[in-house]
Amino acid sequence: MDRVIFLVDMQTFYASVEKADFPEFRDKPLLVAGDPKQRSGIVLAACPIAKRFGVLTAEPLGQALRKCPQAVIQLPRMQHYIDVSTAVTRFLRQFTDLVEPYSIDEQFIDVTGSVPLFGSPLTIARKIQQCVHERFGIYARIGIGPNKVLAKMACDHYGKKNRTGIFELNAKNIEKYLWPLPIGELFGVGHRMEQHFIGMGIRKIGHLARFQVDFLRKRWGVNGELLWRTARGLDSSPVSPGTFTEQKAIGHHMTLPFDYPAIKDIRVILLELSEEVAYRARSKRYMGHVVSVGISGAFERHSGFHRQITLPFATNFGMDLYHAANTLFTESWDRLPVRAASVTLGDLQPASNNYQLDFFAHLEEKANLSAAVDIIYRKYGKTSIFRGTSLMPSSQLWARASKIGGHFK
């Protein structure tokens, strides 16, 4: 028997949560946007009423207000959105224990075993849609398929656009509904791959589905075959409730309030990023061997790079990460202004595991120091103890201390 997989998507999630909490805004255009004085002054979510004025997600707030000057502006409350998303996950577990959060506003659920209990897939989808709206004030769109990739595309291409908010893609109807779509609409195809396909005469998803897989495999390896399988609606990946319980990497990204041209200022940011990543790794009891740095330049220059280095020992100590990150940055920076930076610790292993000791790494001293700092962080906050460089004007420690993911809690 085919599996029955849903992709449950919460429409304009942040805006929907705000309208549920503030019913007086229900019939008004509402935007959730960051601080207009910073680069975070972009539209994170626009309700359907605002979208009718042409407002787009991720456009500058000022531009959105020129389109819809009467819009209500709400600052994001990220912790609250996370709490609501978690509550939705718990609710969906009433229908099945196979619930996999895909993003803050999307969840895969496998209801194959629930059909005998709750009725047909369409009946279950309608029930979920009704209950999510009654409990959370959020309109859910649901894609149905025999696997995750078809459920996702059913939701994105049809469920989000039709009157009922529910659509099913399966082996019987993909030729009618999926194959006529442009190749750029296929899940997993980015702009560059789209251009490659068009250059080969593959303009529709159906063209790729009928293409010779051997050629695709020869040119792009596993990814070529994966996209071919996706076009044919083939996907064997299970809905995995534990997908996010074991991490492969821990990273932190920061978009700066303005382009930083000076190396001394950029190093302050790299140090703060390194300390944040190290703290999160210790909080989750991980250590890692691989440190990665990502740098983005100004939009108009399209400059930047991503580099990584493997350390001779596993660590979750901030200065270890910073020394590696600074080396990568110094070797690769093109001396153009920096608008965003990230630091990531990868090749993770549980901190309780046995690991290779380094005679010169002073691991025990670092562990004791880090443990003391973590106690202070948890009790008094991130600004209670910090390195002196965070007193420099370029520091973003204070601005981000009360935020989650760069946005207000």
Residue by residue, DSSP assigns 339-407 as EEEEEEEEEEEETTS-----TTT-HHHHHHHHHHHHHHHHHH-TTSS--GGGGSTT--HHHHTTEETTE
Confidence of residue 59 (pLDDT cuts 50, 70, 90): confident
Confidence of residue 301 (pLDDT cuts 50, 70, 90): low
9 is in an annotated binding site: yes
Q: Is 364 a catalytic residue?
A: no
Residue 253's Cβ-count burial label (10 Å; 0-12, 13-18, 19+) is middle
Judge whether residue 356 has pLDDT over 70: no
Residues pairing with 74 in the sheet:
32
- Residue 176 CB: number of other CB atoms within 10 A? 9
Q: Which one, of 387, 370, 408, 405, lies nearest residue 283 by Cα?
A: 370
Q: Choose which CATH entry (3.30.70.270, 3.30.499.10, 3.30.2420.10, 3.30.1050.10) describes domain 1-170.
A: 3.30.70.270
Task: Quote the pLDDT of residue 399.
Answer: 72
Q: CB under 8 Å to 244, separation ≥6 — which residues?
A: 101
* CA-angle at 253, arms to 322 and 108, nearest 5°: 130
pLDDT, tens only, 76-108:
888 899 999 999 999 999 999 999 999 999 999
Task: Quote the pLDDT of residue 403.
Answer: 60
Task: Quote the pLDDT of residue 193.
Answer: 92
List the chain domain ranges. Answer: 1-170, 175-231, 249-408
Mean pLDDT value of segment 163-187: 96
Task: Quote the pLDDT of residue 35.
Answer: 67
Amino acid at 236: S
More confident residue, 401 or 74: 74
Q: 167 with 144: CB under 8 angstroms?
A: yes
Mean pLDDT value of segment 232-244: 86
Judge whether residue 404 has pLDDT over 80: no
Task: Quote the pLDDT of residue 313.
Answer: 84
Judge whether residue 266 has pLDDT over 80: yes
Mean pLDDT value of segment 166-187: 96
Confidence of residue 30 (pLDDT cuts 50, 70, 90): very high
Confidence of residue 243 (pLDDT cuts 50, 70, 90): low
Catalytic residue among 18, 100, 106, 272: 106
Mean pLDDT value of segment 386-395: 81
Task: Quote the pLDDT of residue 20.
Answer: 95
Confidence of residue 343 (pLDDT cuts 50, 70, 90): very high
Average pLDDT of the chain to the nearest whole number: 89
Judge whether residue 40 has pLDDT over 60: no
Judge whether residue 41 has pLDDT over 80: no
105 is in an annotated binding site: yes
- CATH topology assigned to domain 175-231: DNA polymerase; domain 1 (1.10.150)
Length of the chain: 409
Task: Quote the pLDDT of residue 297.
Answer: 83
CA distance 69 to 65: 5
Judge whether residue 327 has pLDDT over 90: yes
Strand ranges (DSSP E) for 174-281? 249-260
pLDDT, tens only, 304-316:
889 999 998 889 9
Task: Quote the pLDDT of residue 53.
Answer: 96
pLDDT, tens only, 129-172:
999 999 999 999 999 999 999 999 999 999 999 999 999 999 99
Token look-up 């629930």 returns 114
Task: Quote the pLDDT of residue 36.
Answer: 62
Amino acid at 393: P
CA distance 3 to 260: 51
CA distance 72 to 15: 10
Task: Quote the pLDDT of residue 382.
Answer: 75
Percent of the chain whose predicted confidence (pLDDT) is above 70: 90
Mean pLDDT value of segment 38-48: 80
- CATH 3.30.1490.100: does it fit domain 249-408? yes
> Which two tokens mark 236?
């064997």
Mean pLDDT value of segment 252-260: 85
Q: CB under 8 Å to 69, separation ≥6 — which residues?
A: none
Task: Quote the pLDDT of residue 405.
Answer: 56
Q: Among 155-164, 215-224, 392-401, where is mean pLDDT lowest?
A: 392-401
